[in-house]
């Protein structure tokens, strides 16, 4: 039984960074902006979290620093694409390349140093409950934030007026502008939120999942988060399913490799990507639902009609 609990907890750890980054990007894309810089913001968050935790000895300060750095980095993207109306795809790619290079430079001195792990929370009595104790009451703080985040975003987007305005901007920015909705301001805030999420996702990687710093340690998770958003047809619930599926297959293939099944390791390593995409494509079969949820003005620059 304990084996299964520990497997499930490791699945949670593998899924959490994807879930946070994808939830942030979902909000960005729902506002009609395509930010391909998730990988770059995430890796900047990871290096910020690791170095601040190293220097202060406090992983929570590290996580806060990561959120701040991710948000700051996203503002560079927002300024270029919203204020200067640069191409979103090119700017996003540049942000990823810049983030990977810059984080490598900042983190050079931290390579190989032991990290500071964010400890799991421990609530007396509850955490000591058999079976569910460690699973529900004994994980790291960022895990709980990720779950709250995905439900919070779902509630925000579909139940609040501000969420409605954000979706309207993503559907037709010119119509939203005609209604007096501040398109640029909403998009700035959405990008800021997405950046903060990507930063926190990076912090989870370098503080919880693998508490150390390795250059380029996000290893494409930012891109998977982006793909998750699209294949989840911009629905938070489906992002949750996709992220956990990816986490489960990642952990599962580790165990299969450990047992020594005669399947090429390369194939097993690629399984999480494959499985996630196949399942989400199947979920997104309903053309009508996908059409309703796709932000129609995604990636289009907005210049007010003057």
Partner 1 sequence: MCGVGPFAGLEFVGGGYVRAFIQVQMSAQDRSPPIPPIPALLETRNITKIFGELKANDSVDFAIQKGEIHALLGENGAGKSTLVKILFGSLQQTDGSVLWNGESVHVDSPSQAKALGIGMVFQHFSLFEALTVAENIALSFGSDVELADISERARDLSHQYGLPLDPDALVGDLSVGERQRIEIIRCLMQDPALIILDEPTSVLTPQEANTLFETLFRLRDEGRSILYISHRLEEVQRLCSAATIMRHGKVVDACDPREETAGSLASKMVGAEIEGIEHKFAGEVGDVFLELNHLSLPSDHPFAISLKDISLKVHAGEVVGVAGIAGNGQGELFGAVSGEDVQDNPSAVRMCGEDAGAKGISSRRALGAAFIPEERLGHGAVPELPLTDNLLLARHASDKSSFLSLGGLSVIARGAINSATKKVVEAMDVRKSAENPPAGALSGGNLQKFIMGRELDREPKLLVVNQPTWGVDAGAAANIRQALIDLAANGSAVLVISQDLDEIFEVASSIAVMADGRLTQPVPASELTREQIGLMMAGTDLGSGAAA
In angstroms, the CA 297 to CA 292 distance is 12
Contact between 168 and partner 1 per CB under 8 A: yes
Would you say 10 or 290 has its CB closer to partner 1?
Answer: 290
Q: Which residue has the tokens 């729902």?
A: 30
Q: The tokens of 284 are what? A: 């997104």
Would you say 158 or 267 has its CB closer to partner 1?
Answer: 158
Q: How far is CA 41 from CA 57, 240, 292, in A?
A: 23, 21, 29
Rounded least distance, CB 289 to partner 1, Å: 10
Q: Segment 258-297, which members bind partner 1 (CB under 8 A)?
A: 288, 291-296
Would you say 11 or 186 has its CB closer to partner 1?
Answer: 186
Would you say 84 or 306 has its CB closer to partner 1?
Answer: 306
Among 126, 132, 179, 278, binds partner 1 (CB under 8 A): 179
Rounded least distance, CB 32 to partner 1, Å: 11
Would you say 126 or 296 has its CB closer to partner 1?
Answer: 296
Among 3, 124, 130, 161, binds partner 1 (CB under 8 A): 161
Contact between 180 and partner 1 per CB under 8 A: yes
In angstroms, the CA 96 to CA 48 distance is 16
DSSP output for 189-241: HHHHHHHHHHHHHHHHIIIIIS-S--TTTTTTHHHHHHHHHHHTTT-HHHHHH
In angstroms, the CA 264 to CA 283 distance is 29
Rounded least distance, CB 295 to partner 1, Å: 8
Only segment of 35-43, 159-167, 213-221, 270-278 that touches partner 1 (CB under 8 A): 159-167
Nearest CA to 32 out of 302, 306, 298, 305 is that of 298
Rounded least distance, CB 188 to partner 1, Å: 18
In angstroms, the CA 51 to CA 213 distance is 9
Would you say 219 or 292 has its CB closer to partner 1?
Answer: 292
Would you say 140 or 171 has its CB closer to partner 1?
Answer: 171
Cα 203–Cα 209–Cα 213 angle in degrees, nearest 5: 60
Among 134, 167, 187, 235, binds partner 1 (CB under 8 A): 167
- State residue 119 phi and psi, 5-degree precision: -70, 155
Contacts with partner 1, residue ranges (CB under 8 A): 160-162, 164-165, 167-168, 171-172, 174-176, 178-181, 288, 291-296, 305-306
């Amino acid at each position: 039984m304990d084996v299964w609990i520990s497997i499930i907890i490791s699945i949670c750890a593998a899924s959490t960074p994807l879930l946070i980054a994808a939830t942030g990007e979902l909000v960005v894309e729902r506002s009609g902006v395509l930010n391909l810089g998730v990988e770059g913001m995430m890796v900047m968050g990871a290096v910020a979290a690791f170095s601040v935790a190293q220097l202060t000895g406090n992983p929570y300060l590290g996580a806060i620093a990561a959120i701040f750095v991710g948000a700051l980095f996203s503002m560079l993207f927002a300024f270029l694409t919203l204020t200067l109306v640069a191409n979103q795809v090119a700017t996003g790619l540049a942000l990823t390349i810049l983030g990977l290079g810059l984080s490598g430079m900042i983190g050079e001195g931290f390579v190989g140093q032991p990290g500071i792990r964010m400890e799991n929370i421990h609530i007396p009595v509850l955490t000591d409950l058999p079976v569910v104790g460690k699973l529900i009451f004994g994980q790291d703080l960022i895990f709980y934030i990720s779950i709250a985040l995905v439900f919070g975003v779902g509630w925000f987007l579909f139940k609040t007026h501000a969420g409605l305005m954000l979706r309207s901007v993503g559907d037709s920015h010119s119509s939203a502008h005609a209604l007096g909705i501040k398109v640029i301001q909403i998009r700035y805030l959405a990008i800021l939120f997405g950046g903060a999420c990507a930063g926190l996702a990076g912090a989870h990687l370098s503080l919880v999942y693998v508490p150390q710093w390795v250059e380029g340690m996000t290893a494409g998770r930012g891109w998977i988060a982006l793909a998750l958003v699209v294949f989840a047809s911009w629905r938070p619930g489906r992002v949750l399913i996709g992220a956990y599926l990816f986490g489960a297959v990642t952990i599962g293939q580790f165990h299969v490799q450990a047992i020594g099944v005669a399947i090429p390791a390369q194939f097993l390593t690629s399984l999480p990507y494959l499985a996630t995409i196949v399942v989400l494509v199947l979920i997104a079969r309903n053309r009508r639902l996908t059409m309703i949820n796709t932000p129609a003005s995604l990636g289009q620059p907005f210049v007010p009609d003057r």
